Structure 1
Amino acid sequence: MRVDEELGRALAELSSTLTPQPDPYGRVRARYRRMRQRRLGGLALALVVSVGGTAFAIAGPARTTQPPPANSNESIAPVLAWADKLLQSPPRGAVARDTGYVRQLSDILLDAQRRGDFPNLTVPVNAVKVLFIEDVNDQRIALAAFVRDQPDPVTGWPSAAVWLVAEKGASAEKLASTGSVRGTSDALEPYESLAVDDPSGPGRAIHVAIAPAGCVFLTSPVLNGHAFKWASELTGSYLIRTPQTQRPEWWRVNCAEVTRKITPGPGSLAAKPITDAQLATAMSRVRGDVKAQRARELVYQSAQSAGYRLTALPSVVWGGHVAGVPTGGSPSVADGQVTVLAAPAVDGTWVGEVTIEPDQPRSDSVVGTGTSFTVTTDPTDPASVLAVPIDGDAVGSGDQQFLLVVTPAAATTVRVLRDGQEVARAPASGSGAALTVPRPTAGLVVKALDASGRTLASAQVSDEGARGTPETDAWNQE
């Protein structure tokens, strides 16, 4: 897979940490259990990543490999039980029918691990279980689980996982070599997946995902806001997508009629580069002042990070220079260029991003930060009002919240009301305004007024984070 596409998926995963999920297992998995070492093409990825030559930080809590607090109600026991079901599953894939090959591969992998050939997997291991082997296009892809002598003392995970990739028809010795390792994790999870470059051409990738035996994969095309139309995959408990079969779609895993996972399939609506026609569409309703080249970059980055959570490419809502905007770093506030994008999501809401580029780089060399929001109505309508709280978790401990407001072009004043009483007011110009308002922002109503005092439009303050997508990770349910 291309680095930029893989980065887009990583950005999407990071930005998902902004969203309190109905099911908490995703937070357990991402923050508490282990440091995943999936293949990222040598890209070092943390909360600050390099995009198009620009250091860009996604607002949200940092990930950590520490275990959950003792009083956590986010039980990992059901997850471990499902992971064990995957471990006990028979090998899947056409090559896995060759039981002699599977046995030989398991033995070679165990011997290699005990010799210390896998530097990312050095704990004592008592067995290796091959879970998947398939020749996909010109490559042989395998997933193997390494069963520890004792569960990890910090995380409790009993097995590690290794993805292997070699040429089609590779011998067991070749597939088990260290040069074939494409991903190592210190936890075998109930759902495992891999993206690997396809040699048929640049930017082309193969995707494999697997769940416990007895579970079934279903897929649905992205249907522009309409309900999903799920159909079972012929492969049952695993799924393969090649450059020839990849499409805009969502994936679902059902186990005994219970949905355990829903996730967008790989890819995004964005081609690279964004074409002139796509840029013209994205800029067709823009308010304020946004440079075309920067808009092109942001539309691409946003589409890549969101993937098929969107049903259309993002539009540029507004741009302008804002004084005293929170930066999430040091200095904590600065003057800078702000750009707002928004796009329709698969659940019928609109999700957006606010990008802030301070005039002077922060002390940590990050020169752009961002935050996300969700609204129920189209924020690209030039006659509408959009009010977005900026970096609400990082502004400080005070009672005030920084609010960015996008207004109709004729607006000269912004009023903020709670229960009909004004709590803040600021001048508007260039279809924008910035002000501080009392916390909490839930329930605040923002009105845009023209010079005569007439209300042009009003709206409630947007929700923070990209909420509302139908993603599910329910392996922690009994």
Structure 2
Amino acid sequence: MTVDEELSRALAELSGTLTPQPDPYGRARARYRRSRQRRLGGLALALVVSVGGAAFAIADPGRTTQPPPADSTESSAPVVAWSDKLLQSPPRGVVGQDSGYVRQLSELLLAAQRRGDIPRMDVPVTAVKVLFVDDVGGQRIALAAFVRDQPDPATGWPSTAMWLSADEGASAEELVSTNAVRGVSDGLEPYESLALGDPSGPGKVIHVAIAPAGCVFLSSPLPNGTAFQWTPEPTGSYLIRTPKTQRPEWWRVDCGAVTRKMIPGPGSLLPDSITDAQLATAMSRVRGSVPEQRARLMVSEYAKSRGYQLAALPSVVWGGHATGLPARSTGGSPAADASLESGEATILAAPAAGGGWIGQVTIDLDRPRLNGVIGTGASFVVTADPTDPAGVLAVSIDSDNIGDEGERTLLVVTPAAATRVRVAQDGREVATAAVSGAGAVVPVPHSMTGLVVEALDASGRTLASGQVAGDGAASTLETDTWNQD
């Protein structure tokens, strides 16, 4: 995986923290993770990202951390308990079995921290615990936890985490060097991982992941259909991947009978530039109009950012100029500078690992908003193939940005022969709009559920119908249940 791919994955994870999570642990963990800072190829996390030509601002997560409210019901106790189980685990890795080396590394790290030699480690620390040390791909990699004298007042985490690396066979003194620090976080989470550039060549990456002792890593090849084929990792409670062992796969962490973590492994179905043949396949069922260069860029970026969430390369579903879009501020209320806006829209979709489809809408606005935003979009999930030229696809492009009152906006893709879109609830028409270029923008009451969207031809005959696609960007197979006792 290239550094660009790693950055895309990192940005995808960060964007996931910008929307409310459905469960208390999700919200608490998102709040905590806003303060985490990983150094990835020397790239800062305060970025403006170009996706299909649209710029989306992502704030520095280190500046948005807020203390939990005094009356918060978002208990993080189970997560902290699992974090403590990781802290109390014996060191893993081949070098981690050398008790003398581990003891020396712990003592040197603690002394360096108390001298103020370690960046972002200036709080009182009672101990340092080395959790992993091994030589991987020509480098010596270590994970250490710094136990705070008091839990962090902003995040509540009792320990911090630090990844280090130096040349293979490096001494403890070399690992303690500031130049060896590869990542620092404000909290030691139950599952810790590192992506590190491999010295064997540009774009090569080493991956290390670790969980509490007693837990077991399993891996499965990327499923073609819905069946995973899980195999326990020989390393047990940690996992290592080098450029030679990396493959299209998913990872799982089982602790007893409970699956605590399940995610796609690193990489994507498009490790290199998209070929002309791949682009032709991606465009083979497109409706509307999408410039080739735009399609090439968007398919490539989406494939790399979503990685092995996708079971096949994405297709371009539709493209066109969308008008009548309600301008929204970041808080969800109408923007101060415009009541309606327009832009160049493109929809991509791909089959998801484990079944179903996931996709995204990207809109490059014709006119920047006063706050500088020049692009918007949405992610969606559906069960039926959205690339079918005879079908209808309806995506809510702003449902996450407004409350239960008012309207939301549907972007609807229709068969080529359609001239009108009709939206109904319980057989009663609630909205209609003209179709142009196999697409339509339809405002509907936000509070309405169970809507049926129909594409009609000039005679009023129904060509296709379907429900509004579900919101979301990630496969529902992904699991993170460290919040459970």
Q: Same fold (TM over 0.5)?
A: yes
User: Could you tell me whether the CA contact under 8 Å between 2:399 and 2:446 is conserved in 1?
Assistant: no
1:445 to 447, 452, 464: 452
Q: Deviations over 1:406-447 (max 9, x none)?
A: 000000111110110011111112101112111235311111
Are 1:134 and 2:141 an aligned pair? no
Are 1:353 and 2:346 an aligned pair? no
1:236 counterpart letter in structure 2: G
User: Could you tell me whether the CA contact under 8 Å between 1:446 and 1:461 is conserved in 2?
Assistant: yes
For residue 51 of structure 1, report the CA deviation from its aligned partner.
Answer: 4.9
Distance 1:327 1:56, change over 3 A: farther
Q: Deviations over 1:78-97 (max 9, x none)?
A: 11111111111111001112
- Residue 184 (structure 1) aligns with: 184
Alignment of 1:459-478 (within 5 A): 459-466=466-473, 468-478=475-485
Q: Deviations over 1:302-326 (max 9, x none)?
A: 1122111110111000000111324
For residue 468 of structure 1, report the CA deviation from its aligned partner.
Answer: 4.8
- Residue 418 (structure 1) aligns with: 425
- Residue 55 (structure 1) aligns with: 55
Which segment drifts farther, 325-334 or 310-319? Answer: 325-334
Q: Distance in 2 between matches of 1:309 and 1:227?
A: 14
Q: Distance in 2 between matches of 1:429 and 1:187?
A: 51
Q: Distance in 2 between matches of 1:328 and 1:17?
A: 20
User: Could you tell me whether the CA contact under 8 Å between 1:80 and 1:157 is conserved in 2?
Assistant: yes
1:289 counterpart letter in structure 2: S
Secondary structure at the counterpart of residue 37 of structure 2: coil
User: Could you tell me whether the CA contact under 8 Å between 1:148 and 1:160 is conserved in 2?
Assistant: yes
- Residue 66 (structure 1) aligns with: 66
Distance 1:327 1:103, change over 3 A: farther
2:398 to 382, 391, 396: 391
Please list every run of 5 or more consecutive structure 1 residues that lacks an aligned counterpart in the other structure.
none
- Residue 278 (structure 2) aligns with: 278
- Residue 323 (structure 1) aligns with: 323
Which segment drifts farther, 364-373 or 354-363? Answer: 364-373
Q: How many percent of aligned residue pairs carry the same amino acid? A: 71
For residue 216 of structure 1, report the CA deviation from its aligned partner.
Answer: 0.6
1:92 counterpart letter in structure 2: R
Q: Deviations over 1:166-211 (max 9, x none)?
A: 0000111111100000000111111100000001111110000001
Distance 1:451 1:47, change over 3 A: farther
Are 1:82 and 2:89 an aligned pair? no
Superposed CA RMSD? 2.3
For residue 17 of structure 1, report the CA deviation from its aligned partner.
Answer: 4.4
Are 1:366 and 2:366 an aligned pair? no
TM-score normalised over the length of structure 2: 0.93
User: Could you tell me whether the CA contact under 8 Å between 1:23 and 1:473 is conserved in 2?
Assistant: no
User: Could you tell me whether the CA contact under 8 Å between 1:150 and 1:158 is conserved in 2?
Assistant: yes
Q: Deviations over 1:361-412 (max 9, x none)?
A: 3334333222111111011000000111111233577522111110000001
- Residue 229 (structure 1) aligns with: 229
TM-score normalised over the length of structure 1: 0.94
Distance 1:171 1:326, change over 3 A: farther
- Residue 332 (structure 2) aligns with: none
User: Could you tell me whether the CA contact under 8 Å between 1:209 and 1:240 is conserved in 2?
Assistant: yes
User: Could you tell me whether the CA contact under 8 Å between 2:218 and 2:252 is conserved in 1?
Assistant: yes
Distance 1:182 1:121, change over 3 A: same
1:212 counterpart letter in structure 2: P
Secondary structure at the counterpart of residue 401 of structure 2: coil
2:362 counterpart letter in structure 1: T
How many residues align? The count is 477
Are 1:430 and 2:437 an aligned pair? yes
Q: Distance in 1 between matches of 2:132 and 2:388?
A: 49
2:343 to 315, 336, 339: 336
Q: Distance in 2 between matches of 1:50 and 1:31?
A: 25
2:40 counterpart letter in structure 1: L
For residue 129 of structure 1, report the CA deviation from its aligned partner.
Answer: 0.7
User: Could you tell me whether the CA contact under 8 Å between 1:326 and 1:395 is conserved in 2?
Assistant: no
1:362 counterpart letter in structure 2: R
For residue 157 of structure 1, report the CA deviation from its aligned partner.
Answer: 1.1
- Residue 195 (structure 1) aligns with: 195
Q: Distance in 2 between matches of 1:92 and 1:344?
A: 37
With a CA cutoff of 8 Å and minimum separation of 6, indicate the structure with the bigger relative contact order.
1
Secondary structure at the counterpart of residue 307 of structure 2: helix
For residue 16 of structure 1, report the CA deviation from its aligned partner.
Answer: 3.7
Distance 1:64 1:9, change over 3 A: same
Distance 1:58 1:178, change over 3 A: closer
Distance 1:109 1:71, change over 3 A: same
Q: Distance in 1 between matches of 2:360 and 2:180?
A: 39
Q: Deviations over 1:202-231 (max 9, x none)?
A: 111000000111111011111122211111
Q: Distance in 1 between matches of 2:296 and 2:27?
A: 33
For residue 15 of structure 1, report the CA deviation from its aligned partner.
Answer: 4.6
- Residue 409 (structure 1) aligns with: 416
Q: Distance in 2 between matches of 1:4 and 1:379?
A: 28
For residue 20 of structure 1, report the CA deviation from its aligned partner.
Answer: 6.9
2:294 counterpart letter in structure 1: R
Secondary structure at the counterpart of residue 393 of structure 1: helix
